[in-house]
Every structure is written in structure tokens, then in C-alpha cells.
Chains A and B, each alone.
Chain A
Amino acid sequence: MFTGLSERLAESFKKLQGRGLLSEENIQQALRDVRVALLEADVALPVVRQFLEQVKERALGREVVKSLTPDQAFIKIVNDELVALMGGQSEGLNLTGDSPSVVLVAGLQGAGKTTTVGKLARWLMQTQGLRVMLSSGDIYRPAAIEQLRLLAEQVGAGFYQADTGSSPVAIAQAAVEAAQRNQADVLLFDSAGRLHVDDAMMGEIKQLHAVLKPTETLFVVDSMTGQDAANTAKAFDVALPLSGVVLTKMDGDARGGAALSVRQITGKPIKFFGTGEKLDALEVFHPDRIVSRILGMGDVVSLVEKVERTVDHEQAEKLARKVKRGKGFDLDDFRQQIGMLNSMGGLGSMMKMLPGMPNVGAEASAAGAREMRRIEAIINSMTAAERHKPEIIKGSRKRRIASGSGTQVQDVNRLLKQFIQMQKMMKKAGKRGGMAGLMRGMGGKLPPGARF
């Protein structure tokens, strides 16, 4: 996410390098580049204008004079302004007041409201240990209520099923009572998707808000949204006292300018973002980290969290011990590592989070992924004995492995050579041991075909 923007800004800043001073003139060029980058990232035009004004003001002010080099100063200004724009630390949900606290979600059709409610329910139950009840006022879209009921079942939350024919407002009223009866801590109320220009429907959501008296009113917005994010955010913000924003579909490659637009226009914090279709694909939003990523500074914290969440600890420990001993690391372990890397979203998604490597294009990471698959295929075509003792692989075994994996003998040779190098490196890394050693091992295992 956001990689396009970070690439673009990196380029802008490259052009600035080597110049003596930040003059009005060379700032103009950089500002134009930033403008193009932001527009390509779908940041709404008024927001872009305002942002550039702020950056320009800062850049031409006294802060530049004291700084180390002009390009560093400019990067810092853009970074600081973006951080300021995205807001402070994420705040979680406000669930104070009488039980049950009510969370109302609203947004356009197809933004991802229902899925978000399912994910929020899971998050509240698992991380906060709360009793959660779900209900839906979407009587318009066929099977919308059924969809939420199924999600409630999947996460094990309570569900209030209204009688057919009830109005959304009546459902809301009854859902609050049902949540009280069931002693739920939180009621999550899903509303129908609606257009901000639909007066009747906007009136309805206001009524829902009045009946539910939610402590959180979340605006759900698709991160792929373009310029229109500004219009819709404004209209929903006027109609409802929004308390926060949820950005969905962040696992795509949209540059996510909508995040900036919505934040700037509503002034409300982005609280969560959705990163996939599964119910655990919801993350607490970290503005500073996202900005680091926009600017190509890497997101090591997210990377470490991802590793911790995905890697099977027992497996990792076992590998780490082998690495520490500096021997016994065989091609089976190598294959396991590839598997781990893949389960973390593959090489490309890892590289994006590493500092100093913001410019890995989609093509390069796709090439990396292909190479990974090839390596896996080659290892899969070996016998257990060969995996354990690769040194026994000679001419005729190589030919068999190559034809078994649909590769050439040269590919097998390359893999074996790479593996020997890796073993050596493992021994070195192993002296430092533990998870750090393993991480280093992963970094060292870049496939031969991928040039980074």
C-alpha cells in the first residue's frame, strides 16, 4: 500500500539532491512533483492544494536555514506535514457509558461495512474480551442481514434478528433492548450502504443515530476511492457526528490517497484498516507508520509484528537452534523458510516494509516470487536423502531433479551453490543467534534471480 506515492516522492527528492540551497525555484519543482504524486495517489484536489501551501510555507520559512542539507530538510517538512495531516496515535474505540455501548457504522454501498462489523466483533471479543452483539438495519440489499448473521455465527457473537418487515429504526430500537437483555457489552449496528446525495436515506441514518445513541459512529471508506472521497466524507460528516474512520481493502495496491482526504476533511481519526477478506484482517491504524511508508522510510515495526504473528514459533525456534549450531541446516529447512516467507505475504510485501528498499517494483517482486516457486519445485523434486545431504547430488541426480521440477540443470546448480553460500552465512549469523539470526538468514536467502 502507498508504494506508488513513496516511489514518486523518492524521485522528487532525488532531483533535489546536489543542489546548494532550497530556493523558491527548486522548491517549486519539488512541490509540482509532490502535487503529481499526491494526485496520482488519489488525494482530493482541495486537500492537495492545502497541503502544498503548508509545505511551501514551512520550506520557505526559517526551519530550512538551520537544517543539514536542503533535500533532507524538504523530506522532513513533507514528512512532518503528512504526519500532522494523518493525525496522532490511533485511539482505539470509545466504549464508555452505559452498557451496552453502541457502535454504528455508515458509508456508501460496497465500502465494506458488513465485513468490517464482523471483523470489529472478532477484534472486540478476542483482544478486549467483550461480549458483543451484532444487528443490521440493511433491509434494502438482498441477503445483507443474512450476511451479517453468518458473520456473527463465524465469530461467535450474539445476533439480533428482527422480524421481517421491520423498519431499520425499529430494528435499531429492538436491537438495543435485546443487547441489554443479553447483557452484551457492545452492540455493533450495521447500516445499509447509502449515497450521500440521497436525502431520504441520509435522514434515515440520522434517525438511526438518534435511536442508537452510539459512542462510536464509524465512517467506512474504500481505500481505492478517488476524488469523490472528499465529497462523501464531507456529507457524512455533516449528517452525523462521526467519531472515526475505517479504511477498507488496504491489501490492494491502491495508493490510498483517500486516507489523507478523509482525514483532512472530517478531521476524524482513522481508527482501523482492513487488509483482507478473512475476519482477522483488521489492524489498528498507525498514522506515523503509514507516513513513513509513504515517504519510503520503511515500516520495520509492522514487519516485526507481521513476522511474530505469522511464524510458527516452535518451527522458528528449531530452525534458530540449527542455525546457532551452524550445522544441520539442510534443504528441508530451506524449504520451510520459503514457506514462512510466503505465508507472510511473500518477498515483495516484506521488502516494502524494509528501510532503504522502497523501490522494489511489482515486477521485481513478482520475479522474486516466481524464483521462489522454482526453488520450491526443485527442492520438492529431491529425495529426502538429497535434501538432507545435498552434496550427494551429482550429474544424473541433477538431471532427474531438473526434469522433475520442470527446470534446467543450471537452475539446480544455481540453487545448490546458493545453498552452500547460505550455510556459510548461517554459521556467521548463528553466532549472534536467536530470532535475529533467523531474520538475517531470511534476508540472506534472496533468490539468485531477484536483483534488489
Chain B
Amino acid sequence: MTEKSPGLFGRLKAGLGRTRAKLGGSLATLIVGRKAIDAELIEELEALLLGADIGIEATGVLIGDLESRLSRNALRDGDAVYAALREGMLGILQGGETTLELPSRGKPNLIMLVGVNGAGKTTTAGKLARQLQDQGRSVMLAAADTFRAAAVEQLQSWGERNRIPVIAQHSGADPAAVVFDAMSAAAARGLDVVIADTSGRLHTQGNLMAELTKIARVARKADPEAPAECLLVLDAGVGQNGLAQAEQFGQAVGLTGVVLTKLDGTARGGVIFAIRKKLDLPVKYIGVGESIDDLRPFDPEAFVDALLSGEA
């Protein structure tokens, strides 16, 4: 797994895209230094936003804002258009609690990872555990995916890599019981954090969503404050359906944030704008690669810059 071509968020990963001066891609040539601001430019910007999965509605708001400023002659050149667009996008994403709330209180904090199938929950659980360990936390993994073949083994191998305990039961076991057991075991061993890796489920599956509600309810029997964090793991490649996912999972368990995974391809994860606007749900982490360090705290500025530096 070496030698990746940079990819869109490869820039982000490499720490580039921080400043406008370093922009690559077509947007720079499109706007920066451009004297004439015309309908064509606006159309190209719209295409860039739509192509990043930002969606009709949020794109409409961002472009509408640019157009109204243009009509007031508030934007004189390409640099001003770029700055205005960037500002509009940051306005949506900035603010809110983007770090994990894991108080030291002599009791394990439960982090639940939820999401549709294949979003990257198990991998995120493994990486997140390692990062929390590096921050001096003691972590336990709970294999609450008792449905998918070999899901438990997958999590166990992350447990081995990180040298942390994994609480698991047999395939088909009640996931709520697994989580409850893990919380009791973690409390008995004086551990800080329990990360529960739940099965992937489509948000339209009523029974499985009810199962998620039950996991949270049973967890509250061990700790009335649980879950401390309930994170929606979202594939950056997802389209507008991401919003429906955030809504439905939010209704079932009450989300505290989003982990946006697989940003190391060409997917740009623009649906998080709609999620932030409609549900005020902050992104807390992004996944930009396969190695443990590639799970990163979300930085709105770096994100917007990387997104805007992509091909239109």
C-alpha cells in the first residue's frame, strides 16, 4: 500500500491546501487573479460544489450569496469571489463541539460508532482506540456487531494490534448485552473508554434501528450518562442520502458527531454541509488513509481549502 497518487485529499493529508497560494487544481486557474466575473464563472463554481456532493440546496444558498454580493458590486475580482465562497462554506462548518467529550470521572465513557454497512465503523474503532491510547486513555473495544460474518474477528485483530481488551460474544448474540458487559468489565478494570462497534445497518430498517435504540437504553442502565459520544460513521463517497442517514440515526440514538471516512480518494464528502445546516451535527474526525494516524481531528479550514482545490 504505497505510492498513492496525491488524490484530492492527499493534499489535505500532506498538509497542503492551507493557503490560497498553494492551491492546485482547476479552481485556482478558474478564479484566482481573474478580472472578469461573469455568469460562466458562477456556473463553474456551482458545478464544482454540486460535483462535491454539497447538494442542490446548500449549493443554492452558497451561490445565491455570491450572486447577491456580485450584484452589489461587492466582489471585484476572482480573489474576492474565492474568499467569499470560502467564507460562506466555513460559515456552515465552523463552530460547534468538534472534540470528543470524554470526562475523567472514574467511570468508563461509552463511545458508540453507528452507520450504514461498509462505512468504515470497525476500522474507525481500531484507529480511534489507538489515538485515545496515545492520549493516555485506557480503552476497551466492544464487538457489538454480532451479525456480519467475521466482524468480531476483525475487531479482535484490531484489539491485538493495539494490545487492548475486546469484549465479544458469540455470533448472533444480543448486541445490547455485549455493550452492557463491556461497560461492566471496563468499570471493574478501571478503564476510561469503551468503544462499541455496532453492526452496519441501513437507516430504513426499522427493526435494526430499534435495536440501536435498545443498545443505548441498556447502556444507560450501566451508566445514566451513556453514551458519552455517539458518532455516525459516514463514507465520504455517499451522496445526498447521507442526510437521511444522519436524520434517521439521530432519531434512533441521538448523535453527537460525524466521522467522515475514505477522504483519501476523490470523494469530497460535501453532504456534511447539508448535515451541518439541517441537523447542526459537527464533524469530529476525518479518515484520510489506511494508517492509524490517518484518522484526524476535523479542521474546517483545511477541509474547505482541500475541497475547493479539486477539479471542477
Residues of B within 8 A of A430 (CB): none
How far, in whole Å, are A436 and B116 apart by their CA atoms in the complex? 38
Among A71-79, A103-111, A211-219, the one that faces the other chain is A103-111
Choose among A149, A198, A258, A277 the residue that contacts B239 (Cβ–Cβ < 8 A). Answer: A258
* Of A36, A41, A228, A231, most B-chain CB atoms within 10 Å: A228
Interface size class of A (residues with CB under 8 A): 35 or more
- Nearest A residue (CB) for B266: A231
B5 within 8 A of A: yes
Number of residue pairs A-B, CB distance < 8 angstroms = 162
How far, in whole Å, are A109 and B53 apart by their CA atoms in the complex? 19
- Interface SS majority for chain B: loop
Please report which residues of chain B, range 1-16, place their CB below 8 angstroms from some CB of chain A when the two chains form the complex: 1-7, 10
Residue pair B149, A249 in contact (C-beta under 8 Å) = no
Residue pair A199, B3 in contact (C-beta under 8 Å) = yes
Please report which residues of chain A, range 129-170, place their CB below 8 angstroms from some CB of chain B when the two chains form the complex: 140-144, 146-151, 154
A139 to chain B, nearest CB (A): 11
B169 within 8 A of A: no
How far, in whole Å, are A398 and B48 apart by their CA atoms in the complex? 63
Residue pair B265, A277 in contact (C-beta under 8 Å) = no
Residue pair A143, B265 in contact (C-beta under 8 Å) = no
Contact A225-B238, Cβ < 8 Å, known A39-B50, A140-B1, A144-B150? yes
B29 within 8 A of A: no
Choose among B150, B206, B237, B244 the residue that contacts A226 (Cβ–Cβ < 8 A). Answer: B237
Among B63-71, B153-161, B181-189, B299-307, the one that faces the other chain is B153-161
Contact A224-B265, Cβ < 8 Å, known A42-B241, A146-B153, A252-B204? no
Residue pair A197, B10 in contact (C-beta under 8 Å) = yes
- Nearest B residue (CB) for A149: B150
* Of A44, A108, A110, A253, most B-chain CB atoms within 10 Å: A110
Among B80-88, B117-125, B220-228, the one that faces the other chain is B117-125
Residue pair A110, B119 in contact (C-beta under 8 Å) = yes
Residue pair A201, B1 in contact (C-beta under 8 Å) = yes
A359 within 8 A of B: no
Residues of B within 8 A of A199 (CB): 3-5
Residue pair B51, A227 in contact (C-beta under 8 Å) = yes
How many B residues have CB within 8 A of the partner chain? 54
B47 within 8 A of A: yes
* Of B147, B154, B237, B266, most A-chain CB atoms within 10 Å: B237
A387 within 8 A of B: no
A190 within 8 A of B: no
Residues of A within 8 A of B147 (CB): 277
B94 within 8 A of A: no
B240 within 8 A of A: yes
Residue pair B5, A226 in contact (C-beta under 8 Å) = no
B268 within 8 A of A: yes
How far, in whole Å, are A196 and B153 apart by their CA atoms in the complex? 27
Against A, the Cβ 8 Å flags (1 = close, 0 = not) of B155-179 are 0111000000000000000000000
Residue pair A109, B153 in contact (C-beta under 8 Å) = no
Choose among A44, A142, A196 the residue that contacts B158 (Cβ–Cβ < 8 A). Answer: A142
Residue pair B149, A151 in contact (C-beta under 8 Å) = yes
How far, in whole Å, are A279 and B112 apart by their CA atoms in the complex? 27
Residue pair B240, A277 in contact (C-beta under 8 Å) = no
Residues of A within 8 A of B119 (CB): 110
A177 within 8 A of B: no
A314 to chain B, nearest CB (A): 26
Residues of A within 8 A of B278 (CB): none
Residues of B within 8 A of A255 (CB): 239-241
Against A, the Cβ 8 Å flags (1 = close, 0 = not) of B254-274 are 000000001011111011000
A53 within 8 A of B: no
Contact A222-B118, Cβ < 8 Å, known A42-B239, A228-B268, A231-B266? yes
How far, in whole Å, are A232 and B4 apart by their CA atoms in the complex? 15
- Nearest A residue (CB) for B248: A253
Residue pair A109, B118 in contact (C-beta under 8 Å) = yes
B45 within 8 A of A: no
Contact A224-B148, Cβ < 8 Å, known A109-B262, A112-B117, A249-B202? no
- Nearest B residue (CB) for A195: B265
Residue pair A222, B237 in contact (C-beta under 8 Å) = yes
Residue pair B116, A252 in contact (C-beta under 8 Å) = yes
Residue pair A143, B157 in contact (C-beta under 8 Å) = yes
- Nearest A residue (CB) for B52: A227
11 contacting pairs across A/B (C-beta < 8 A): A109-B262, A142-B158, A143-B154, A147-B154, A200-B2, A200-B3, A227-B239, A228-B267, A252-B241, A257-B239, A277-B117
The 9 closest A-B pairs by CB, nearest first: A226-B239, A110-B118, A42-B239, A147-B150, A142-B157, A143-B153, A150-B149, A143-B154, A228-B267
